[in-house]
Structure 1
């Protein structure tokens, strides 16, 4: 049989695999137009594509997904006694950001409050009882200090529930929600909302139930232009960025459970364009129920998954977590796939549960239990002004 020429072999190869003829820049441009989940699947096409997607320079052009978590720890024997950390959940490379946020101006103390859409909300203390809100973008090392909201004479003693709202797919502007308590009780009286578009705070009176109470560490998610929170009144509440629309809806009811001892506000989050609620009942049998709101125009929740706490904690390494127990604390729902991140065991092991495979895995022992995790998705655009 006659041997094919080099030109014929190259032509035959291109016919079998047209993508082989695409330049790197063209491939990256195509990938940048795909959703995150599709980009992740494209890593399996070839080593070349996997390398292009993982390249730090190309990563800035591609749609982003969950990279890890910011969290703080306290140690009275150290100075300073509070430290900031970042844990990478991608399984590859170093942390994408430095948890000390070295690009910020020097402050006496910086407390991370909330994260949303790649931005981080901090309380930056200029003295022991005076702070300013600062919103920063760790990926671009940008920041902006907000004007004073005017709420509270001594903010150090006021437990403020303050949350950040930002969706870069909808707008380049962010909002900060600072909830105000009534003078004679802890019920929510209203909210002060800062808009980066106007540069001003505006106050709106609450239209939630009169006995609605929020705490500084209240669970929340910014979804479809509204901030959603789970409150002690067995309800999920929400308010929009203008303080004009307020609504309440009951949390999903538990069925086929032998007994419910106590109820704690569960986790509220979003994944794949839908609102998720994860229950935190102390029940018999002990389990975690995962609900999804298939249609956000209704109050009907669908039970998507249920997993026992025994399965959630079975992969904890007893050598690194000597306080192994059925304790768990949800950290977040992955925005693009069926993964639940949570803290398990009394020693504080960060874990992930795959709802599709019904498997759990340990990521890292953090040695801290009482801490709040702020999920982080890199945002590679310049929208902040590095100043006031």
Structure 2
């Protein structure tokens, strides 16, 4: 009797689960394509790509070029440049092995308008360039000595905007650090922050803020209380309304720190990092600020700022790169952090190879060959295509 009862209960439970499944399937069939796209548009890019496996119809819906404007995109590859007697040469390295959805290596500017241009920053599909009316020498970033303009563009749509001159103060002759702040989930408008220092090694004196909403610059004194010098050519990373840069805290013991500032230059924060005598790599990943550093010759640590209001980094992952080194017979250092997962990108010490390393599963991913210039260390910018119509009031086509 007990066995029979168990069988009856199993049958009832099976029927119940089947009815629930059929009910869910029936309910799902009521969703229109527009409603599905609306739901998917609010999910991270990594989740959207996973949903391609739900069904053939979902896969076709997600991959349809007409729907790209509505859905978040994932990493397409890296922008970088080399220099020679002709100036800067722009390159693109694809992480998928396929061609880029557009040509992000060159902005869609008027032909022959500028003699040279340099990549400055990239943020969520928009690119920031510094364009000059004369050939720029190798790593000449003393911008105050040149006639230059900032240009923001979206290579997917071909739209671009030339910014008016940044209002540098005459005494602040060394102001070669700028970053782009843009979050399409919040607004179609962007900011450019141009940081001023009197000379290399001095403290931050002011910040010039360009707003695409007002189409004008605003110059504000830094107001930072602690004595911090920005590292020469530090990268800028925009996360949750805060622009982060790498600097040196001039306290009792000089230490490397992360410096954060909001778009109104009213809120500053200083974040201490592990192994403060070394320069790590930081970036935005999964909506949080991440910091990666080589803690030893064969060990890498990935730290995370879990809360945007926090000032303390938490150790997220540790990995050994022995496997990658033994496979390629090359030494690597951290170059970039994947925006959607715990994957880091490592550049070989020779600068000719860029490799993906999954820290969570301790696996080596794609290995990319890149063009090198012996006179410089490669600087890579993450590129995520933006298919929506941004820069609606742009000067370009």
Query: TM-score of the superposition, structure 1-length normalised?
Result: 0.81
Q: For residue 127 of structure 1, give the secondary structure of its aligned residue in structure 2.
A: coil
Aligned partner (choices 156, 163, 166) of residue 179 of structure 2? 163
Aligned partners of 1:167, 1:16: CA distance in 2, in Å?
Answer: 35
Aligned partners of 1:273, 1:43: CA distance in 2, in Å?
Answer: 22
Does 1:386 pair with 2:391? Answer: no
Q: Which residue does 1:70 correspond to in 2?
A: 79
The 5-angstrom pairing of residues 37-186 of structure 1 reads 37-76=46-85, 80-91=86-97, 93-101=98-106, 103-105=108-110, 106-128=113-135, 129-151=146-168, 158=174, 160-182=176-198, 186=202
Deviation at 1:290, TM superposition (A): 0.5
Instruction: Tell me, yes or no, if the aligned pair for 1:173 and 1:195 is still in contact at 8 Å.
Output: yes
> What CA RMSD, in Å, does the superposition of the two structures yield over aligned residues?
3.0
Q: For residue 49 of structure 1, give the secondary structure of its aligned residue in structure 2.
A: helix
Which protein is richer in helix relative to its size?
2
The 5-angstrom pairing of residues 326-337 of structure 1 reads 326-331=331-336, 333-337=337-341
The worse-fitting range, judged by mean Cα deviation, of 46-55 and 61-70 is 46-55
Deviation at 1:209, TM superposition (A): 5.6
Deviation at 1:307, TM superposition (A): 1.5
Deviation at 1:249, TM superposition (A): 2.0
Instruction: Tell me, yes or no, if the aligned pair for 1:119 and 1:137 is still in contact at 8 Å.
Output: yes
Q: What do the CA deviations read for 1:271-312 (whole angstroms, capped 9, x no partner)?
A: 22222111245x3x5321101122333333221111223234
Q: Which residue does 1:279 correspond to in 2?
A: 293
Return closer, same or farther for 1:205/1:313 CA change in 2, 3 Å cut-off.
farther
Deviation at 1:102, TM superposition (A): 5.5
Instruction: Tell me, yes or no, if the aligned pair for 1:187 and 1:210 is still in contact at 8 Å.
Output: no
Aligned partners of 1:62, 1:20: CA distance in 2, in Å?
Answer: 21
Q: Which residue does 2:353 correspond to in 1?
A: 349
Structure 2: tracts of 5 or more residues without a match: 1-21, 136-145, 249-254
Query: TM-score of the superposition, structure 2-length normalised?
Result: 0.79
Q: For residue 395 of structure 2, give the secondary structure of its aligned residue in structure 1.
A: coil
Aligned partners of 1:220, 1:241: CA distance in 2, in Å?
Answer: 13
Does 1:268 pair with 2:282? Answer: yes
Return closer, same or farther for 1:295/1:29 CA change in 2, 3 Å cut-off.
closer
Q: Which residue does 1:292 correspond to in 2?
A: 304
Q: For residue 150 of structure 1, give the secondary structure of its aligned residue in structure 2.
A: coil
Q: For residue 176 of structure 2, give the secondary structure of its aligned residue in structure 1.
A: coil
Aligned partners of 1:264, 1:387: CA distance in 2, in Å?
Answer: 42
Deviation at 1:178, TM superposition (A): 0.9
The 5-angstrom pairing of residues 24-35 of structure 1 reads 27-35=36-44
The 5-angstrom pairing of residues 247-266 of structure 1 reads 247-252=269-274, 263-266=277-280
Does 1:219 pair with 2:227? Answer: no
Q: What do the CA deviations read for 1:333-364 (whole angstroms, capped 9, x no partner)?
A: 22222221221342421111112211112331
Q: For residue 42 of structure 1, give the secondary structure of its aligned residue in structure 2.
A: helix
Q: Which residue does 1:4 correspond to in 2?
A: none
Return closer, same or farther for 1:330/1:20 CA change in 2, 3 Å cut-off.
same
Aligned partners of 1:377, 1:69: CA distance in 2, in Å?
Answer: 9
Aligned partners of 2:357, 2:55: CA distance in 1, in Å?
Answer: 28
Deviation at 1:43, TM superposition (A): 1.7
Q: For residue 43 of structure 2, give the secondary structure of its aligned residue in structure 1.
A: coil
Counting matched residue pairs gives 353
Structure 1: tracts of 5 or more residues without a match: 1-13, 255-262, 317-323
Return closer, same or farther for 1:348/1:20 CA change in 2, 3 Å cut-off.
farther
Aligned partners of 2:273, 2:232: CA distance in 1, in Å?
Answer: 20
Deviation at 1:160, TM superposition (A): 0.3
Instruction: Tell me, yes or no, if the aligned pair for 1:85 and 1:100 is still in contact at 8 Å.
Output: yes
Instruction: Tell me, yes or no, if the aligned pair for 2:122 and 2:383 is still in contact at 8 Å.
Output: yes
Instruction: Tell me, yes or no, if the aligned pair for 1:117 and 1:379 is still in contact at 8 Å.
Output: yes
Return closer, same or farther for 1:295/1:40 CA change in 2, 3 Å cut-off.
same
Aligned partners of 1:217, 1:124: CA distance in 2, in Å?
Answer: 17
